[in-house]
Amino acid sequence: MDPLRQALLELDDLQDSLDWKHVKAAWRQTANRWSQRLQASNDADEVWRLAVELMQHIKPNHFESDFNVVGWMSTESSDAHSVLRAVRALRAHLKDCHAPASSAASGKGASSAADMPSIPEGLVVGEPCLAMGLHAGQRRQFKALFMGLRTIKPEFLVKYVADVDGRTMPLLLPEVRNTYVPVHDLAPWRASAPLPPSSAKTRGQQADR
């Protein structure tokens, strides 16, 4: 799917998934007009402006403590892929908002249990797992908590908590602590030896070999 369209759909779904108690009172008067503007959006800058507007209406205590708002606000707003990543990062850093909502009332973003991916064998929500992450330009495995799942790919939400040796220093972990990963980037905790790190720049070249 076109990244701009995907960003629009995921931002719309995120707004639908928010409980009224998690947004500021002014959002009740703003939400309908915001949704109309979103549906009429046809460029990345406008979707980004709406993402920022939504973020500013979310109560501060609904964000995870490691949400870097300054870094998030530095998103390249004219690039649809960057805006899509920012929308996903925003969802990943909200408490109790890990899976897209089923909104029967609005009819938007609705999904059935049959649409949800199955949890890989050996993984339990809330328990440790191994997850691939990017650190210093290399992809490698980290200890993470398996936080939840959604219907949109990548489907599995993880929170990086340590390297495979148990070290928790922030400088040793991916900069984005909460993120969604595909199923092939997950493994049960300590089920296998860590994969050797690979350069993110040559990953596509390696896949072609």
Q: How confident is the model at residue 98 (pLDDT cuts 50, 70, 90)?
A: low
Instruction: Say what percent of the chain tops pLDDT 90.
Output: 34
Q: How confident is the model at residue 102 (pLDDT cuts 50, 70, 90)?
A: very low
Residues 6+ away with beta carbon under 8 Å from 76: 82
pLDDT tens digits, 20-66: 899 999 998 988 899 889 988 889 999 999 999 999 999 999 998 88
If you average pLDDT over every residue of the chain, what do you get? 81
Q: How confident is the model at residue 111 (pLDDT cuts 50, 70, 90)?
A: very low
d(CA 47, CA 70): 18
Looking at residue 155, what is its pLDDT?
85
d(CA 171, CA 203): 23
**Cβ atoms of 51 and 90 closer than 8 Å:** yes
pLDDT tens digits, 162-200: 999 999 998 999 988 888 899 999 999 874 445 555 554
Q: Is the pTM of this model over 0.85?
A: no
Return the higher-pLDDT residue of 16 and 131.
131
Residue 179 Ramachandran class (φ > 0 left, ψ -120 to 50 alpha, else beta): beta
d(CA 45, CA 121): 41
